[in-house]
């Protein structure tokens, strides 16, 4: 089963204060399972756009934390900028990337909107595919009057009441949350400072005033240049070259030219390829003519590169890396069982618990995957320490100290693998007991892999602490920690046997 991946592109009303921007970024990065792919800050717009993606539950949590951070640090009563906005966190769209549907993104938007309103007391509007009213599908309708105009309208106009939260704005303003298909934020700069030209061109280009379908546009002044600022909502139906050439033609009517263009955030590769094909008139072009695509086709041949390395005559990677690989596989199976449980009516009573396990299992999967390389690096450091010179007394002392430090790390890494694998084993027992019965053997496999990881990583811990100095308290400490982990492992191993026998009449060896 493919891993679910969702993209989130929150827009914040701050593009000048780097400390605020960094705090928002840190709040997102603090959530395991979420990657920040890009962020773009514009001082004229006074706006920052962040692109992040990951597991749906983790991304949803990261979005909430970012909204909370922005509400604490951004005062909309003091905010000024070129870009329309109604809140500190102005808009939060969710975009399906892999094994996700727009409907699932709508569900995320609704959950997040309700939580933001309940815990942060911020009015929330739902838009695009999550909109509950037809007129709120378009973001510009919700932003009508901007923050200043909404302060009065939200209190007195029933049509402007939020979908969640109070009908009153605090200093954080309101937030718009929704779900949509991938969007391209594309800006074209003109070689003039006459913003009226950009506004006229935007009026010609945008669909709402009779222009191109799937194009939203406005004219603004940025860095002393007139800019046509656009969102392209479906590049497959209205291609970038079509938009660009219309702008170029309209600019000539006003005696100006396109100076340059820019992307805000990320763009699908296909959109760039389509643009290149159009401009170069490559009528017979095929995607497999792209070198990187050819390399990707051959990627399957490299799927077992780790196993090839493991089987080689080289000392690394070795047993510790294999243990981490087994533990990461166990975490992946726990995540899979949780995924096939979430959303099923039969298991509604454990929905929240399974969602929490899913987030944690994905975080452990990433940590344990990283441990595969860490273990090899730790042993490489040990071998490097043993190769240090030992001719003089000073060299001998330096070598002995380096060996002691390297051996301690070489013991600590597999010990961490044991501890993390134990956490995975606990979750495997839970999903075996409460999760989708159709995936119970996957839970059993995850539990068995976790036990195997602890057994093998534990062996590496024991052999490495034997090389530590008797006076090193770490030696005894690591030994005690490992003994406690192994004791608890036996308890959970017995537990998984009982669960499988009682729930599915499965007997483990």
- Beta bridge mates, 184: 232
Cα angle 477, 417, 36 (rounded to 5 degrees) comes to: 125
Cα angle 476, 480, 485 (rounded to 5 degrees) comes to: 150
Would you say 333 and 449 are in contact if contact means Cβ atoms under 8 Å apart? Answer: yes
Q: How far apart are CA 43 and CA 69, in angstroms?
A: 20
Catalytic, out of 40, 79, 83, 260: 83
Q: What is the CA radius of gyration of the chain?
A: 28
Total residue count of the chain as it appears in this document: 509
Q: How far apart are CA 382 and CA 186, in angstroms?
A: 51
Q: How far apart are CA 494 and CA 488, in angstroms?
A: 10
- Give the H or E element holding residue 219: strand 215-222
Take residue 158 and report the two structure tokens written for it: 């029933």
Give how far Cα 425 sits from Cα of 216, 347, 466, Å.
50, 21, 27
- Exposure of 233 in the CB half-sphere (CA atoms within 13 A): 17
The DSSP 8-state label assigned to residue 100 in this structure reads -
Take residue 470 and report the two structure tokens written for it: 């008797």
Which of these, 168, 151, 155, 156, lies nearest to 77 by C-alpha position? 151
End-to-end CA distance of the chain: 27
Residue tagged 């042993």 (tokens): 379
Q: How far apart are CA 374 and CA 264, in angstroms?
A: 36
**How many whole angstroms from its chain centre is CA 23?**
17
Active-site residue, 83 included: yes
Which of these, 230, 216, 221, 218, lies nearest to 262 by C-alpha position? 230
Would you say 92 and 180 are in contact if contact means Cβ atoms under 8 Å apart? Answer: no
Q: How far apart are CA 456 and CA 331, in angstroms?
A: 17
The DSSP 8-state label assigned to residue 331 in this structure reads H
The three-class DSSP label of residue 500 is helix
Which of these, 314, 311, 315, 360, lies nearest to 337 by C-alpha position? 360
Residue tagged 């975080």 (tokens): 363
Q: How far apart are CA 399 and CA 387, in angstroms?
A: 8
Would you say 464 and 385 are in contact if contact means Cβ atoms under 8 Å apart? Answer: no
Phi, then psi, of 130 in degrees rounded to 5: -90, -5
Q: Active-site positions?
A: 83
């Amino acid at each position: 089963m493919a891993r679910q991946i969702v993209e989130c592109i929150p827009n914040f009303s701050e593009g000048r204060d780097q400390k605020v921007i960094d705090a928002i970024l840190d709040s997102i990065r603090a959530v395991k399972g979420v990657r920040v792919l890009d962020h773009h800050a514009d001082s004229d717009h006074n706006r920052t756009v962040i692109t992040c993606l990951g597991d749906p539950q983790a991304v949803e949590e990261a979005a909430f934390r970012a909204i909370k951070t922005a509400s604490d640090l951004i005062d909309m009563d003091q905010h000024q900028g070129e870009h329309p906005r109604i809140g500190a966190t102005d808009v939060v769209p969710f975009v399906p990337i892999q094994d996700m549907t727009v409907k699932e993104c709508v569900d995320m938007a609704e959950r997040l909107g309700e939580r933001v309103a309940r815990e942060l007391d911020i009015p929330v509007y739902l838009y695009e595919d999550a909109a509950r009213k037809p007129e709120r599908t378009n973001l510009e309708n919700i932003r009508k009057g901007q923050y200043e105009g909404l302060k009065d309208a939200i209190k007195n106009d029933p049509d402007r009441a939020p979908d969640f939260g109070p009908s009153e704005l605090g200093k954080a303003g309101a937030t718009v949350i929704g779900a949509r298909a991938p969007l391209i934020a594309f800006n074209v700069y003109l070689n003039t400072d006459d913003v009226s030209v950009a506004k006229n061109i935007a009026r010609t280009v945008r669909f709402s005033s009779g222009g191109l379908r799937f194009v939203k546009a406005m004219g603004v002044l940025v860095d002393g240049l007139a800019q046509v600022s656009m969102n392209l909502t479906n590049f497959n139906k209205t291609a970038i070259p079509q938009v660009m050439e219309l702008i170029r033609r309209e600019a000539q009517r006003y005696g100006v030219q396109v100076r340059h263009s820019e992307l805000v955030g990320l763009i699908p590769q296909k959109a760039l390829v389509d643009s290149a094909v159009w401009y170069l008139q490559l009528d017979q072009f095929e995607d497999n003519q792209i070198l990187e695509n050819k390399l990707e086709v051959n990627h399957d041949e490299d799927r077992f590169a780790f196993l090839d390395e493991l089987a080689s005559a080289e000392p690394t990677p070795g047993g510790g890396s294999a243990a981490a690989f087994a533990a990461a596989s166990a975490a992946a199976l726990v995540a899979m069982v949780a995924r096939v449980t979430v959303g099923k009516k039969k298991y509604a009573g454990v929905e929240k618990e399974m969602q929490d396990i899913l987030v944690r299992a994905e975080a452990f999967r990433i940590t344990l995957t990283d441990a595969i390389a860490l273990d090899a690096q730790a042993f490489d450091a040990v071998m490097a320490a043993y190769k240090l010179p030992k001719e003089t007394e000073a060299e001998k002392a330096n070598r002995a100290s380096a060996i002691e430090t390297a051996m301690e790390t070489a013991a600590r890494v597999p010990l961490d693998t044991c501890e993390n694998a134990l956490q995975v084993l606990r979750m495997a027992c839970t999903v075996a007991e409460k999760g989708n019965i159709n995936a119970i053997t996957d839970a059993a496999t995850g539990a068995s892999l976790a036990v195997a990881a602890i057994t093998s990583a534990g062996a590496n811990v024991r052999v490495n602490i034997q090389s530590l100095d008797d006076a090193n308290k770490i030696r005894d400490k690591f030994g005690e920690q490992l003994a406690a982990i192994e004791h608890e492992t036996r308890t959970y191993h017995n537990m998984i046997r009982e669960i499988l026998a009682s729930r599915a009449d499965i007997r483990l060896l």
